[in-house]
Structure 1
Amino acid sequence: MLAQQRPAGGPAPMPDRDPVIDLVRFFCLALVVVAHTMMVSPVLHPDGTVTSENTLGDQHWFEPVVWVFQIMPLFFVAGGITGLQSWRRLRARGGNAFDFMQGRLLRLIRPAAVLLAVMFVGLSAARLAGVDPQVIELLTSGAGMPLWFLAAYLAAQLNLPWLAALHARAPWLTFAGLTALVVTVDCLRGVLPLLAYLNMLFLWCAVQQLGFIVADGPRLLPGRPAHLGIMVASNMLLGVIVLLGLYSGNMLVNLNPPNVTLLLLGISQAAALQLFRPGLSRIASVAGVRRMMGLAGRRSMTVYLWHLPLLAAMSGVLLLTDFPQPAGGSAAWWWGRPLVLLGVIALLLPVVALFGRLEERPTAAGPSPSRPAAAVLLAAVAVFVPAVNAALTGLTPGLLGGGAACFALAVVLLGRIPVRLTTPPGRQDGSEPPLPRPPLSANVEP
């Protein structure tokens, strides 16, 4: 992390943005969008039924590739780095854990609430218009992937304040304790399969804890030469447990519910982040790259939430036309993937322009008290009930409507973030803008 100077007798300054984390998040988001265009493959059968195939995930050659490019752990490492910085800044301004939870919830659920509401209204209208229920089911499933990520990421972030306290006291012991919980759940999942979903919390909190360790790097991490050894050792251990048949070698299979293989990937990716940081820093310093990262950072959640539903919608609409539908995995199908990607980007542009502003963290116009702890906790419950349900059983049109209502209720309960919690230290009068001036960066958070 960038070194900071503390003025004599003054408050600790806010940490500078880390352009490397901006670059990593941009890369991860771009990779997710591109990968999903090569996975979603709806099939219209002669009897009129519709199914969806994961064409890329079904290719045997893809297993070693996804081993390298399964970047979901890296998302949580980056979230741990920026989340820990945000929590420390908030505490310096007098905020507490419930203020942190309020900000995190609002940051993520405002764009998600609109997505669910738009999908519910649109699909209800399609059903009334006589669109085949199977096509509607295909479109509905398009929001399932973003919702499981939202549930997992929020679970990790909302536990961040007390995990940060444990990290301050015993960083390696805290990480070891979370790792032990992950391994314990994996050992018991054969007896109680539903128990495996506890790792949606334990595993991603453990990976987030790696971000804490990286954030406090000089104090906790070895020198750069050791990072290569950590990468090699974690991947070798991962290879051993896969060869022993304890886990699948397909990291998509290992994703939901997650298991210890993703923790080993997270260790490898955290080490790689530090090993390649100098080179990544040089790339991130290029003016054009900085502008691109700033634009993507302001609208990253909108892109993530909407790209898969839009891809599913485009695929579903094409099923209703005479447009050629090459078989998944055929040469014609692969040649058509760049066109599909361009189509998704074309659909994303107006959506981002219309709904992207929902990501800008809302603040009260003037001084206002923090929300009561009971309101924040109730809002969290209202968010997790539909999100966890969708992650466990899949998304349905009814759950879309119920989820939209629950998310809207949570937004009302959370209100707006008090200016004092988003104004830099020393400017408590609110005379300065409560948010950094554009271009915002992906890891600029309250």
Structure 2
Amino acid sequence: MLSFLGFSMVAVFMYLIMSKRLTPLVALMLIPILFGLIGGYANDLGTMMFEGVKAIAPTAIMIFFAILYFGLMIDTGLFEPLIGKILKLVKGDPLKIVVGTAVLSMMVALDGDGTTTYMITVSSLLPLYKRLRMNPLILAGVAMSSMGVMNMTPWGGASAMAMTSLKLDSSELFLPLIPVVMGFGLLWVLVISFIFGKMERRRLGVIDIDAFREVASTAEMDAKIEFNYRRPKLVWFNLALTLILIVLLIMDVIPLMILFMVAFAIALLVNYPNIKEQQERISSHASNAVAVVSIVIAAGIFTGIMSGTKMIDAMATTLVSLIPEAMGQHLPVIVAFLSAPFTFFMSNNAFYFGVLPIIAQAAESYGISAAEIGRASILGQPVHVLSPLVAAAHLLIGMVGIEFSDLQRFLIKWALGTTTVMVIAALVLGVISL
């Protein structure tokens, strides 16, 4: 009964947000409450929701100030010199820009953190996409595709959790996957970006940058757009502050939320010492920050009820029991493909600490090692990053200014393609068995 309730809740939730009958914010809060009441947990719902929100609070605070910080850096004009150099390098070719987006996001994603990857990639390239009128879905889609592959590194969330729950080390789990992840996975992302770039080149053509600048400049004058908040004289200070912030993020010496709070305060004070100017800059980005953070906090209610009611545990047990006895020898391939929907509908924590140990235990009876199951379990990460339960995904759509459902529809088939390519490569290279 509990398992049925959990699957029903996930199905209703996804249907309502994908069909745009409810916003993610409303669905994340009201749907789990409704199903919690149906399940008879009325007396405990308050505690469950509080625990879920409490767990997500540091992430929500970090995202709030990260949006304010990078929004402020865009206002000051920090990325304008970079955009100018990129414009000269790509010569207005959308294809080169999209492929460059993939390369940049892959490099930044080496730290295994989606939040950092999205913030740096989008902050650097969104002004360029807007200037050339390129589809922002492509920027978000390419960044997310890169993160879906790079999240599989040993210091990324998925691999770390798989190693912890199965008591493995990186030599057992990740090293055999290097050709699959770093080779075929990233190569497929470059193929995706090439296809997207060709689409944009057909739509926009190769843009004459000089002519485009004249048109853009004239349009800005006609619209009486004033950029009096630019701070070209402080570009070196802002660059240094941002580089220090990124280094500290990677070193993980201070909690992320504290880093962004302090960095934002310093940047605001130095760039806009006038209190009125400070208020204007905060107000200009507040609506975006609140929209993203509210969804992240709402996700705490969803995960809190899912965990507190034990729906996740029941769902995991049911799914494992559905695997036919005759298919037991093929568990690695089954796990590889099932990890995509599993980690889409539930958090990585729930899957790797709740579901994976059960599957690994079942696999032992067929002579399949825990290491092989662990490797298979992280191949679904390209789909996982599209989940509405991933906080960094809400940061991404908030920064780019798109709808979550639009991004999911745009990218889901390509994400499934990434997982499929890596599973086939893993089979061919003998990383997992058929």
TM-score bin, normalised by smaller chain = under 0.3
TM-score, with structure 1 as normaliser: 0.26
